[in-house]
């Protein structure tokens, strides 16, 4: 028993020594830590409470880190100089962080149990201005661009189809009756040059008219020495009338001269191509067929100049005009570009496609461009020689008005209403509202505009909250969170939520 007591006493003594050593070691370590001062992110020393704020809602400030109760973003520390500056500012009133319409003359708790936050007198000195901390500006990714005058132009692209120039289509037909004796051009698509023989026609009327012409020449010759002027004139008129009939039948002057010299009557009449082009259609041109005036034998198109029909959307109409330059490319000839111009704009809109047809003309001396080919067309136009333009992403379209956010410097931003013109290659033409040299926000402007609208709403709701008498009907925006919470405790029949749950 004595040995056991000795052993127990030894264990207790050893534990006591270990405890005493640990106590003194911790005391020394603690003193060393206290002697070495450290500085926190915001500039405070240990023992001082660090203020944290939300990048999206700078008016919300709390002690210690955490998440914003409004948007859930991680809070960022407030700089020490900012806190000192706030301490020197005079508080105007206090408001609830979750219900900006609830304000109070002294600090306290909101209806939702949250601490009220101060609103300072120097906030909102200029109506519509939004102040944002530089750290917040960087966190939300605010980018700006300087407004300046620039040439405003836009490239309108469209798909087109090559077709014939309707002013260069010719129809070949005969003016006499007869039978087709021979075809020199006998298939569709054949290329012909101007003056090339097309068809030979045997016509009894042509034979008789040639005989009459030769007889008129002989009669004129016989009365040439007559002393009566009326007789001489009758001979001349007879020759002229017969010659005119041959010319109206498309007998060429050279053929008439040959007839006069050789006095050889031809049974056949040859028709020649009036232009250089391609045969588009052969209708009645077949050997042995009987033809008469009014029958179309050939349709020949001159494709040395072609039309391109394109379609543009109605909102692109301000960018096109007659005589505007156009450029065309084809998949058939990669790397080659053709230059032309707009010659006609349809005066009406296609109902189903909501497009407007435009006609362009292109020279085609080598016949490379074939009708019915599909092409890509680009129309380049200058809306004005020079104008103020801002990036398209800088404009906020709210339906009733158009806004841009102006960077006033030192973290101040101003939403401003503008009058927008046409869009041109990533820029909107600004007719009113912005001056050259100002800075517009090109990203995160929706967040800044939302903050500005929030401030405007608070300013409108402040007076009713302070107990002013309203002569107008109560609006839903005039209800505080306290009123809404009180009203939500009763249903339409007056039954409490607790009773409904039962």
224: domain CATH number is: 2.40.50.100
Using an 8 Å Cβ cutoff, are 174 and 271 in contact?
Answer: yes
Residue owning tokens 């056949």: 268
In a domain, 317, yes or no: no
Shared-domain flag, residues 117 and 195: no
Nearest to 59 by CA among 143, 116, 135, 140: 116
Shared-domain flag, residues 172 and 253: yes
Question: How many Cα neighbours within 13 Å face the side chain of 15?
Answer: 6
Nearest to 276 by CA among 196, 193, 197: 193
Shared-domain flag, residues 170 and 295: yes
CA–CA distance, 500 with 487 (Å, rounded to integer): 15
Sign (positive/negative) of CA torsion 181, 182, 187, 189? negative
* Residue 68: Cβ within 10 Å count: 19
Shared-domain flag, residues 84 and 175: no
CA angle 421-445-478, nearest 5°?
105
Give the Å distances, CA to CA, from 166 to 3, 190, 305, 361. Answer: 130, 19, 10, 11
Using an 8 Å Cβ cutoff, are 60 and 117 in contact?
Answer: yes
Q: State the total domains in the chain.
A: 3
Domain boundary among 279, 301, 323: 301
Question: Any idea what DSSP says for residue 299?
Answer: E
Domain range for 181: 166-301
Helices within 36-163 (DSSP H only): 80-88, 134-139
In a domain, 438, yes or no: no
CA–CA distance, 107 with 117 (Å, rounded to integer): 8
Instruction: Kindly report whether the global pTM for this prediction surpasses the value 0.85.
Output: no
Shared-domain flag, residues 173 and 123: no
The token duo for 370 is 């074939």
Shared-domain flag, residues 291 and 211: yes
pLDDT in tens, the chain (502 residues): 555 666 666 666 665 665 545 444 444 333 333 333 333 334 444 445 678 888 777 767 788 888 888 778 888 887 655 444 555 667 777 777 666 567 787 888 888 788 887 777 665 445 556 777 677 777 777 888 888 888 777 788 999 999 999 999 998 888 888 999 889 998 888 999 998 999 988 888 888 888 888 888 888 888 777 777 777 778 788 888 888 888 888 788 888 888 888 888 888 888 889 889 999 988 778 888 898 888 888 999 999 999 999 999 988 888 888 988 999 999 888 889 999 999 999 999 888 888 999 999 999 998 999 999 999 999 887 666 677 888 888 888 877 788 888 888 877 788 888 888 877 778 888 888 888 888 888 887 666 656 555 555 545 545 444 433 333 333 433 444 344 344 433 333 344 333 433 3
CA–CA distance, 276 with 335 (Å, rounded to integer): 28
Question: Any idea what DSSP says for residue 168?
Answer: G
In a domain, 483, yes or no: no
Which residues does residue 382 pair with via DSSP β-bridges, in sequence order?
A: 153
């Amino acid at each position: 028993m004595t040995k056991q007591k000795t052993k127990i006493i030894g264990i207790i003594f050893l534990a006591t020594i270990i405890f005493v050593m640990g106590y003194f070691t911790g005391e020394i370590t603690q003193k060393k830590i206290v002697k070495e001062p450290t500085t926190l992110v915001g500039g405070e020393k240990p023992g001082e409470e660090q203020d944290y704020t939300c990048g999206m809602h700078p008016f919300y400030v709390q002690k210690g880190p955490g998440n914003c109760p409004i948007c859930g973003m991680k809070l960022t520390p407030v700089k020490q100089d900012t806190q000192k500056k706030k301490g020197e500012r005079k508080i105007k009133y206090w408001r609830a962080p979750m219900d900006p319409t609830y304000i109070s003359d002294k600090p306290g708790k909101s209806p939702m149990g949250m601490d009220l936050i101060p609103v300072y007198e120097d906030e909102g000195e200029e109506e519509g201005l939004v102040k944002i901390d530089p750290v917040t500006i960087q966190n939300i990714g605010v980018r700006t661009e300087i407004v300046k005058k620039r040439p405003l132009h836009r490239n309108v692209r469209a798909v087109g189809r090559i077709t014939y120039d309707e002013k260069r289509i010719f129809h070949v037909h005969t003016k006499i009756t007869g039978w087709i004796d021979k075809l020199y051009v006998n298939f569709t698509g054949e290329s012909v040059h101007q003056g090339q023989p097309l068809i030979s026609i045997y016509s009894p009327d042509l034979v008789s008219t040639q005989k009459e012409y030769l007889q008129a020449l002989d009669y004129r010759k016989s009365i040439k020495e007559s002393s009566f002027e009326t007789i001489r004139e009758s001979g001349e008129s007879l020759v002229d009338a017969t010659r005119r009939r041959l010319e109206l039948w498309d007998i060429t002057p050279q053929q008439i001269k040959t007839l006069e010299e050789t006095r050889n009557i031809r049974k056949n009449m040859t028709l020649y191509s009036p232009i250089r082009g391609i045969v588009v259609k052969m209708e009645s041109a077949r050997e042995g067929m009987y033809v008469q005036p009014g029958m179309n034998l050939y349709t020949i198109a001159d494709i040395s100049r072609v039309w391109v029909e394109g379609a543009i959307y109605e909102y692109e109409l301000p960018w096109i005009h007659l005589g505007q330059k156009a450029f065309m490319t084809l998949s058939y000839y990669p790397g080659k570009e053709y230059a032309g111009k707009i010659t006609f704009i349809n005066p009406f809109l296609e109902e189903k496609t909501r497009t407007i047809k435009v006609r362009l003309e292109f020279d085609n001396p080598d016949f490379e461009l074939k009708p019915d080919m599909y092409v890509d067309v680009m129309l380049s136009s200058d809306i004005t020689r020079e104008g103020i333009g801002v990036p398209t992403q800088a404009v906020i379209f709210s339906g009733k008005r158009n806004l841009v956010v102006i960077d006033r410097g030192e973290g101040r931003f101003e939403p401003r209403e503008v009058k927008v013109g046409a869009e041109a290659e990533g820029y909107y033409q600004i007719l009113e509202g912005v001056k050259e040299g100002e800075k517009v926000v090109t990203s995160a402007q929706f967040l800044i505009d939302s903050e500005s609208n929030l401030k405007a709403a608070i300013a409108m709701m402040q007076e009713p909250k302070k107990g002013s008498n309203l002569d107008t009907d109560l609006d839903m925006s005039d209800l505080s969170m306290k009123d809404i919470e009180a009203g939500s405790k009763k249903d339409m029949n007056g039954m409490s939520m607790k009773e409904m749950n039962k």
